[in-house]
Each structure stands twice: as C-alpha cells, then as structure tokens.
Amino acid sequence: MKKKIGLGTWSWGNKLFWNYEVSSDEELYETFSEALNQGFSFIDTADSYGTGSLSGRSEKLIGQFLQRVIKDKQNNIKIATKLAPYPWRIGRQAFSTPYKKSLNRLNNQLDLVQLHWSTEKYNPWQDFQLLNNLCDLIDEGFQFKIGLSNIGPKRLLRIIHFLKEKNKRVSSVQVQFSLLSPNNEKQKNVKKICDQNKIDFLAYSPLAFGILCQDPSKPGKRKSSLLRNFIFQTYNNPTLELRKVMKEISQARSASLAQVALNWCFYQGAIPIVGLRKKNQVLDICKVFKWDLTQREFERLENASNNCPKKMPGNPFSSL
C-alpha cells in the first residue's frame, strides 16, 4: 500500500496546550507549503480548533494559505474538517450552519466532513440526526465525503448500515493510534472493519504529543506550555524502555524517532495525521517514505508498547 500522510493542525490557534502566537503564522505557512511540496495527502482540521477568541483559527489559516498556493497544488490536496457534536447541536439541521461557516473559513475547499466524536454516551440519537444533516447537505448539492472520528467498532458497524440505507457511505474513520495509545486492540478491530468496507483508517496523535520523539538518552527540553511540561514529566520515566527500543531502530536506520513511530502506523495500513508547526519537521517526516519496518522491528516495537506501564489517556467520548 502506498504510504499517505495527513498534516494535523490542532496546534494552529491553540494557546493553552501549544502556546500559539499570531506571530507564528508565517512559519505555519512555510510548514503548510512544504507539506504540499513533499507529497502530504491531505490537511486535517476541525471547527473547534483554536482556543477562546481564536475559535476556528486553524480552519481560517488553512483557507488563507490555500489562497497563496498555486492552483495545481490546491487540486492535489484534500481538506478535511471535523464538526463538533456539542450537546446543543441537536436536530437534523444542527450541522448546517457550522458546516457553511467551516466551508467559508476554508475558502470553499472542503472534501471530507467528519463527526468529531460520538454522542453515544450522552445522547445516543444525536449522532444519527447529525449524520442525516450531512446526508441532506450532500443531497442539496454540497460536495464532500462523510467521515467519523473517535468511534468504536460496534458504533461504526451501526453507522455503516445507517448510511448505506441512505445510499451514502463512511469514507474514513479517525482514531487515536500510536505506540502509546490506550486499547490498541479495540482500534485494530476498527481497522478490520475499515478494511472490509474500503474505509480509510486515519491515526491521530501518532507521535503522542511528541513524547515518542523524545530522545531517551537526553534530558527533555522545557516545553512552551505548562500543560505540555506536565505531560512530558508524567510520561518520561514510564515510556523510557519503549523509547530505547525506538532509538535502537532509529540508529540502525539513520532515521528519527518520529519516523520509527510513523512506520509502526504504516506497517498496519494506517494513514497517520501528524501535527507539525515547522518546515524542518516536515523535511524529517517525509523521509519516512524511503524505508519500512521489518517484521522483526515491528514485533520489537509491539512488545515494548505492550509492556509500557503507562499509556496516553483515551478520548472520553469514544464509543464502543
């Protein structure tokens, strides 16, 4: 299978976790432009990305950046957003306005619309109302595919059947999937269903907020936000043995830890969505196209991951 990578943009506009500043926008454009140059397949965002007064900032930046790239590059990239099923977004028209606002922020280029998480745990029928809304928008002439995020295997099967009755289909499923993600067996069950139904399996947080990029032989650099510092301190010791195995492979391959983590995703047929903010990160990541894990390397990583005493927290809204 040809390797594909998505550019994740959660950090674009997020001050709380990523300490975003407007002054970094030009650097983000250089990152965006280089990702297109290096063959990234799509850009992933969400209408909820951006903190406080910066709500929607990620979508807005992508829309602005699209205006600056040549038409040929625009045509070769797919834009995906996620609409948040907030408790107050109820009914068959609750996504109509948010969708049109996202479309406007994204300069009228929007190829994939994803339900950001399942409402199964607080309003089991809301998912289906909102999916009906997306189907209605397509029937009205808006052109996009439907995707899901933070969905479990049981809910996925139900939604596949629901959309099939409306002559629609799930195009993609996005879940947390990395060497540090919790309950990977559940995610692998989701992957099997995706394979059976020709659905793209997208892996978000494949680098676990950057923890998997932390060299085990060097002291970690202080991060730009208190929250990121706390997370790195919390996971430094519990992930040490896993990162040592990753470093042995990276040294043997003359590759970065990030490339090792992404190739673990690729080995299983996943399409990782990698959050990047700097051009040099893109240049490193794109080298993953040039090599693959051996079966032995994959098994070593699987064993180290399974024995890791502390995994990342799961999404509280992820369904069964």
Q: pLDDT tens digits for the chain (320 residues)?
A: 689 999 999 999 999 999 999 999 999 999 999 999 998 989 999 999 999 999 999 999 999 999 998 776 777 889 999 999 999 999 999 999 999 999 999 999 999 999 999 999 999 999 999 999 999 999 999 999 999 999 999 999 999 999 999 999 999 999 999 999 999 999 999 999 999 999 999 999 999 999 999 999 987 776 668 888 999 999 999 999 999 999 999 999 999 999 999 999 999 999 999 999 999 999 999 999 999 999 999 999 999 999 999 999 988 888 87
- The half-sphere exposure of 210 on its side-chain side, counting CA atoms within 13 A, is 19
How many CB atoms lie under 10 A from the CB of residue 138? 17
Contact criterion met (CB below 8 Å) for 17 and 53 = no
Q: How far apart are CA 57 and CA 38, in angstroms?
A: 24
What pLDDT was estimated at residue 235? 95
The pLDDT score that the predictor gives to residue 1 is 65
Q: How far apart are CA 276 and CA 10, in angstroms?
A: 9
pLDDT at 320: 76
pLDDT computed for residue 75 by the predictor: 72
- Position 76 scores a pLDDT of 82
Query: Domains of the chain (ranges plus CATH)?
Result: 6-306 (3.20.20.100)
User: What positions carry a catalytic annotation?
Assistant: 49
Q: Is 222 exposed, middle or buried (0-12, 13-18, 19+ CB in 10 A)?
A: exposed
Residue 320: other Cβ atoms inside 10 A: 12
- Tell me, what's the pLDDT at 223? 67
Measured distance CA(228)–CA(239) in Å, rounded: 16
Q: Which amino acid is at 231?
A: I
Report how far residue 32's alpha carbon sits from residue 56's, in angstroms, rounded to the nearest whole number.
17
* Beta-bridge partner residues of 203: 175, 272
pTM of the predicted protein model: 0.96
Distance between CA 44 and CA 53 in Å, rounded? Answer: 21
